[in-house]
Structure 1
Amino acid sequence: MDSAEAMAWAETLVRHKLLHAALPTPSGQWLVQHRSGGPVRVLSGPTALVELAAQIQGLVRTEAVRAR
């Protein structure tokens, strides 16, 4: 998995307020916070971040279908 792709997903999720924060660490892990003041999750790397993005995207789509 490309770290640039993970960064693009992280920026998109934060911009759309689907995550509060997503930051890469020098070791290649990612720190993710769903809401301000919430717990910080440590993801193993770019692949884990993209997998999280896919999960969030699936939830958003499910909610959009239910709202119709």
Structure 2
Amino acid sequence: MVHPSRRSNIHKVEAAEAMAWAETLVRHGLLHAALPTPSGQWLVQHRSGGPVRVLSGPTALVDLAAKIQRLVRTEAVRAR
């Protein structure tokens, strides 16, 4: 079992990691927008004018980043 004080530290790390991934994905044009909400959810938009997805939290955003990373790598391998 995780000690309660460690649990809050883990949450902060997850939030910081999600923010770093969100900034990276937007900067590289892989997402149009990714914004955290006060409730801990994330709003994500793939293209300008496209639908906005609501992600359940930082873990869901990091999972999305991993999925995008796999797609980019797969496309790069196919382009060789």
Place the TM-score, normalised by the shorter chain, in its bin: over 0.9
**What amino acid does structure 2 have at the position aligned with 1:7?**
M
List alignment gaps of at least 5 residues for structure 1: none
Higher relative contact order (CA 8 A, sep 6+): 1
Residues 32-67 of structure 1, C-alpha deviations (whole Å, 9 max, x = no match) = 000000000000000000000000000000000000
Q: How many residues in Structure 1 have an aligned counterpart in Structure 2?
A: 68
Aligned to 1:7: 19
**1:64 equivalent in alignment to 2:76:** yes
2:60 paired residue among 22, 37, 48: 48
Structure in which a larger fraction of residues adopt helix: 2
The separation in 2 between residues aligned to 1:58 and 1:35, in whole angstroms, is 19
The separation in 1 between residues aligned to 2:17 and 2:66, in whole angstroms, is 13
Quote the offset at 1:21 in angstroms: 0.1
List alignment gaps of at least 5 residues for structure 2: 1-10
- Greater Cα radius of gyration, structure 1 or 2: 2
Aligned to 1:16: 28
Q: CA RMSD in A?
A: 0.7
